[in-house]
Amino acid sequence: MDELAEMPVDTQSKLLRVLHEKEYRPVGGRTSYQADCRVIAATNRSVEEAIKEGKLRQELYYRISTISVSLPPLKMTLI
């Protein structure tokens, strides 16, 4: 998932529910399905700032923050 902090908060709560309950129901569907998945997510914002601003749910970050990799910005340098 790219730009997780840009995802609407209500969609984040739905994703959190799927990750927690390991079950989902398609829109308009009557049948629930089991979900067994791994999530790789990225954002270009500071996660701590996004949580403070209310743009990223802390519960969702807690659920997916098993391994964190921070990369410095990729800047072009002129020679």
Domain count, the chain: 1
Question: What six digits make up the tokens of 73?
Answer: 């910005």
The tens digit of pLDDT for each residue in 15-60 reads 999 999 999 999 999 999 999 988 899 888 888 999 999 999 999 9
In whole angstroms, give the CA distance from residue 52 to residue 60: 14
pTM metric for this prediction: 0.77
Residue 11, in any domain of the structure: yes
**DSSP H stretches of helix in the chain:** 9-21, 47-53, 58-64
- Per-residue pLDDT band for 14 (boundaries 50, 70, 90) equals very high
pLDDT at 22: 93
Residue 75, in any domain of the structure: no
Residue 43, in any domain of the structure: yes
Residue 69, in any domain of the structure: no
Nearest in space to 33 (alpha carbons), one of 24, 41, 42: 24
Distances (CA, A) of 47 to 33, 40, 54, 56: 31, 15, 11, 8
